[in-house]
Amino acid sequence: MTAEQTLTDYNPATGAAVAELNHTDLATLPARLAKARAAQRRWAAKSFKERARHLRLMRDYIVDRADDLATIVSDSNGKTRVDALATEVLPCALACNWYGKHAGKVLARQRRPGGHLLFANKSTTVEHLPLGVVGIISPWNYPLSIPFGEIVMGLMAGNAVLLKVAAATPAVGRAIERIVDAGELPEGLFQHIVGSGSQVATAFFENGIDKLFFTGSVPAGKTLMAQAAQTLTPVSLELGGNDPMIVLADADLERATNGAAWAGYQNAGQSCGGVERIYVEDSAYDDFVALLAKKTRALRHGPGQRDGVTVDIGSLTTEGQLRTVQQHLEDALAKGARIEAQSQPVGDVEHGYFFPATLLTGVNDTMLTVCEETFGPIVAVERVTDAEQAIARANASNLALTSSIWTRDTRKGRALAARLETGVTTLNDHLYTHGLSEAPWGGWKESGIGRTHGPEGLLEMTNAKVINWDRLPAKRNLWWYPFDQATYRGLLNALHFAFPRGPLKWLGASLKLTPFLVRKMFSKWKVD
DSSP tag of 132: S
Q: For residue 375, count other CB atoms closer than 10 A to its CB.
A: 25
Do residues 186 and 161 lie in contact, with contact meaning Cβ atoms separated by under 8 Å?
Answer: no
Do residues 267 and 82 lie in contact, with contact meaning Cβ atoms separated by under 8 Å?
Answer: no
DSSP tag of 89: I
Query: Helix, strand or coil for residue 90?
Result: helix
What Å distances lie between residue 208 and 23, 30, 232, 391, 508, CA to CA? 21, 9, 10, 43, 56
Q: Which residues contact 41 (CB under 8 A, 6 or more apart)?
A: none
Residues carrying an active site annotation:
238
What is the rounded distance in angstroms from the CA atom of residue 216 to the CA atom of residue 98?
A: 25
Query: Helix, strand or coil for residue 246?
Result: strand
- Cα-flanking dihedrals φ and ψ of residue 421, to 5°? -90, 70
Query: Helix, strand or coil for residue 34?
Result: helix
- Cα-flanking dihedrals φ and ψ of residue 170, to 5°? -65, -25
**Which of 297, 302, 285 minimizes the C-alpha distance to 261?**
297
Terminal alpha carbon distance of the chain: 79
SS3 of 394-455: the string is HHCCCEECEEEEECCCHHHHHHHHCCCCCCEEEECCCCCHHHCCCCCECCEECCEECCECHH
- Helix, strand, coil share of the chain (percent; to 5): 45, 20, 35
